Chain A
């Protein structure tokens, strides 16, 4: 079969496991696509011979494990013992860690292979890498997991790791028209992922099918593979415009409202959900925690390698974070805890929330990877999030809708997302 690179991860694994497809063939198809579409610039390190060698080794071993020789992309803030890990920064040019990150080792233990390292913005932050949006190269792919989103959207790899501290998995997935997933905080190990904010950093997945998320969850948590339930009852959906609704452009606002109406018509109960008054500026507390923790966790780069840090990171994050008083940080931590309890209360009434994935379609140009306003609140909330592609914006680039589940109800979120996906036009 030609073009196996277009299979979802779960579809590819089914064929790999049954013997209908070899890991070498799948990897070759991915590599051919990478070569053909080099202009997307999704990869910061990719050695085709080494990728094929891993695939052939998987074939020789009989393609064992849940992943059976599936190649995946690894965002370049995630350590790999056999490939450079450069964090999108000149400070780490050629850096070769001694050990894999936990998520990489777990992938290999499940029979997966690593196709290459995907482009990240500098330290999973704002200063962009080289990647372009595969739907229109004049537009950003979003960030910071730029390469994983673009590579998956462009059929160069079935699945990529991202990370999210503000909006770095959900937003680029939406901008590139693919599925993105941020799990409940605490479920995926972060060992070997460059630490930015201990209270926010979350390993995420970018792929083309909800089934792929369920598969990778089993790999990363080392639990039995629980597949998405596609015959679930219609969920109760909370339409959550969030206090930042005005930041969304007209087409995005219309998309969310139209989606709510369609899902209601399809049988879902849809109610409006609002944050209580103390949490209307919760995104500001996210910003305080982000800046404070990043400034202290990047102390080495900030204080000893400052000349090699981008001006935008220094001016918008590291210097303000260094100068933020401890009391403001603690206030933000305690407000975040109260906000999480508030969301638990809201979820007593609904199964999932429906909210924008981003403020609009991917902006033109590469200076900015877009506005994380519709993501950072949920990162702070530690809730699981999924973005599903839905339609296009006025510039012809993809739009997405974001579904948010209750903390530690990731399986229920995936089931509800499957219902939503089946009932979208």
Chain B
């Protein structure tokens, strides 16, 4: 009955074994806590670990629930009433909100056990936290959802929640070699998520398989759970290099080309296609939204705690945003709407878009979380994104591919993702 390695199971396997009675939720949580104790000094994925509370919740979890006591982690940008909430900022260290974010409440209501809060960069922005890449601690795990990606990759927890305003779910998931999913904008209820950029902030999830993403998505949306199903025929995929292809590293480019080749060999129709011309400056429009909102959204910290804001944030987005005019913001908003309509029309010609989740493998530094250049465009377009591991780069760190779907066709993207995952795994 005790399985010391149960922390390595997928979430779906955990739930199945708990339901069958061959494993208890408490044993799973204990196994995860043991793994955290062993590895946390190196990986530093957690801002707060609620071990005793999680064990108690696991013992109380209903086997009739969807998640049956399977544990999850949540980025410390979400409010929790029973755990400290620090937003990755010294200003908020030790804060205890009176509210619990919907992203924590709904999985708990579905029988999930909240293990703790994972490390975020400062306000889900650029200034990094202490987390290291579990594959090699000299490399960044990516950010801003650094702790969630590293914890899932390191088998500390099977499921974790992040947020993406530029590339903060897909990029760290790819850098850490896990599956990351950013749904269509606004599909996961944002209450209790500290705002970075209201027009862009999107809650996302990480797991070690597409099937686990589907389970967790159902829990967090409180919708009926349907496992993803491989499509009847191999998909038609757009191979999209984006306007930023020159920012990709050789290993990133090679990973995408190689993955496209393998999917083609497996029967997929691969069509080279780029975003419509109206979208060529999509990343600039994305940036303008973030910059305009930054000084206004951070007014509470500017007013009372300015010295405790990182220089990167003060001299970056906050001062940059103060230079933008209202007309520039309004134009960006209108352009974004035009781009979304054009991209939706274009994406309708394919089952999914196959593109890069990051320029390449994780950079060898802990001072930066890498470049979000291959993510911000899809965040602005509000389209669902899924990154799937696709081998390793030159230093043995993971590289991934990214699939992008039509807006509001999220379940379909997971079906396509299941097919792609199975073909990329079968080496």
List residues of A whose CB falls within 8 A of some B CB. 81, 92, 95, 97-102, 104-106, 108-109, 186-187, 189-192, 195, 198-199, 220-223, 293, 296-300, 303-304, 322, 326, 330, 333-334, 408
User: B299: which of A109, A199, A330 is its contact (CB, 8 Å)?
Assistant: A109
Chain A: CB-nearest residue to B221: A326
Chain B 103-138: CB-based contact to A (< 8 A → 1; otherwise 0):
001100100000000000000000000000000000
Question: Could you list 22 A-B pairs, sorted by A, with CB under 8 Å?
Answer: A100-B299, A100-B300, A102-B296, A102-B297, A102-B300, A104-B300, A109-B299, A109-B303, A189-B198, A191-B299, A192-B300, A222-B296, A223-B325, A296-B102, A296-B189, A296-B191, A297-B191, A298-B191, A299-B222, A300-B81, A322-B222, A333-B186
Q: Say how far A292's CB is from chain B's closest CB, in angstroms.
A: 9
Query: Which of B19-27, B91-99, B388-396 binds A?
Result: B91-99
Give chain B residues whose Cβ lies under 8 Å from the Cβ of A322.
222
Give chain A residues whose Cβ lies under 8 Å from the Cβ of B301.
99
Q: Say how far B294's CB is from chain A's closest CB, in angstroms.
A: 10
**How far apart are the CA atoms of A222 and B321 in the complex, in Å?**
10
Residue from B295, B297, B303 with most neighbouring chain A CB atoms (10 Å): B303
Chain B: CB-nearest residue to A220: B296
Give chain A residues whose Cβ lies under 8 Å from the Cβ of B302.
105, 109
Q: Does B304 contact A (CB under 8 A)?
A: yes
> Which 4 pairs of residues, A with B, have the shortest CB-CB distance?
A296-B189, A297-B191, A105-B299, A189-B296
Query: Which of B41-49, B274-282, B326-334 binds A?
Result: B326-334
**How far apart are the CA atoms of A45 and B49 in the complex, in Å?**
37
Give chain B residues whose Cβ lies under 8 Å from the Cβ of A99.
92, 300-301, 304
Q: Say how far A38's CB is from chain B's closest CB, in angstroms.
A: 28
Q: Give me 12 other A-B pairs in contact (C-beta within 8 A), A99-B304, A221-B296 excluded.
A: A98-B95, A99-B300, A100-B299, A189-B297, A189-B299, A190-B195, A191-B300, A198-B190, A296-B189, A296-B191, A300-B99, A300-B191
**How far apart are the CA atoms of A199 and B189 in the complex, in Å?**
11
Given contacts A100-B303, A299-B102, A304-B105, contact A191 B195 (CB under 8 A): yes
Q: Say how far A180's CB is from chain B's closest CB, in angstroms.
A: 22
Give chain B residues whose Cβ lies under 8 Å from the Cβ of A222.
295-296, 322
Q: Say how far A61's CB is from chain B's closest CB, in angstroms.
A: 14
Given contacts A186-B198, A300-B81, A408-B330, contact A326 B223 (CB under 8 A): yes
Give chain B residues whose Cβ lies under 8 Å from the Cβ of A186.
198-199, 333
Q: Does B16 contact A (CB under 8 A)?
A: no
User: A300: which of B105, B303, B333 is its contact (CB, 8 Å)?
Assistant: B105
Residue from A99, A108, A223, A300 with most neighbouring chain B CB atoms (10 Å): A300
Q: Say how far B127's CB is from chain A's closest CB, in angstroms.
A: 18
**How far apart are the CA atoms of A189 and B97 in the complex, in Å?**
20
**How far apart are the CA atoms of A424 and B315 in the complex, in Å?**
49
Q: Say how far A246's CB is from chain B's closest CB, in angstroms.
A: 33
A221 close to B299 (CB less than 8 A): no
Q: Does B76 contact A (CB under 8 A)?
A: no
**How far apart are the CA atoms of A41 and B275 in the complex, in Å?**
57
User: B98: which of A95, A109, A220 is its contact (CB, 8 Å)?
Assistant: A95
Total of A-B residue pairs, C-beta within 8 Å = 113
B residues 300-352 with Cβ under 8 Å of A? 300-304, 322, 325-326, 329-330, 333-334
B residues 207-224 with Cβ under 8 Å of A? 221-223
**How far apart are the CA atoms of A122 and B106 in the complex, in Å?**
22
Chain A: CB-nearest residue to B79: A300
Give chain A residues whose Cβ lies under 8 Å from the Cβ of B101.
300
Give chain B residues whose Cβ lies under 8 Å from the Cβ of A334.
408
B residues 54-110 with Cβ under 8 Å of A? 81, 92, 95, 97-102, 105-106, 109
User: A333: which of B192, B223, B408 is its contact (CB, 8 Å)?
Assistant: B408
Q: Does B421 contact A (CB under 8 A)?
A: no
Chain B: CB-nearest residue to A192: B300
**How far apart are the CA atoms of A236 and B149 in the complex, in Å?**
55
Q: Does B371 contact A (CB under 8 A)?
A: no
**How far apart are the CA atoms of A198 and B203 in the complex, in Å?**
13
Residue from A98, A223, A298 with most neighbouring chain B CB atoms (10 Å): A98
Give chain A residues whose Cβ lies under 8 Å from the Cβ of B192.
195, 300
Give chain A residues whose Cβ lies under 8 Å from the Cβ of B296.
102, 106, 189, 191, 220-222
Given contacts A189-B198, A326-B221, contact A297 B102 (CB under 8 A): yes
Q: Say how far B60's CB is from chain A's closest CB, in angstroms.
A: 14
Chain A: CB-nearest residue to B334: A408
A296 close to B303 (CB less than 8 A): no
Give chain B residues whose Cβ lies under 8 Å from the Cβ of A299.
102, 105-106, 109, 189, 191, 222
Chain A: CB-nearest residue to B188: A296
Given contacts A99-B301, A221-B296, contact A297 B190 (CB under 8 A): yes
**How far apart are the CA atoms of A411 and B372 in the complex, in Å?**
36
B304 close to A105 (CB less than 8 A): yes
**How far apart are the CA atoms of A293 and B302 in the complex, in Å?**
30
Q: Say how far B181's CB is from chain A's closest CB, in angstroms.
A: 16
Q: Say how far A186's CB is from chain B's closest CB, in angstroms.
A: 6
Q: Say how far B113's CB is from chain A's closest CB, in angstroms.
A: 15
**How far apart are the CA atoms of A223 and B192 in the complex, in Å?**
28
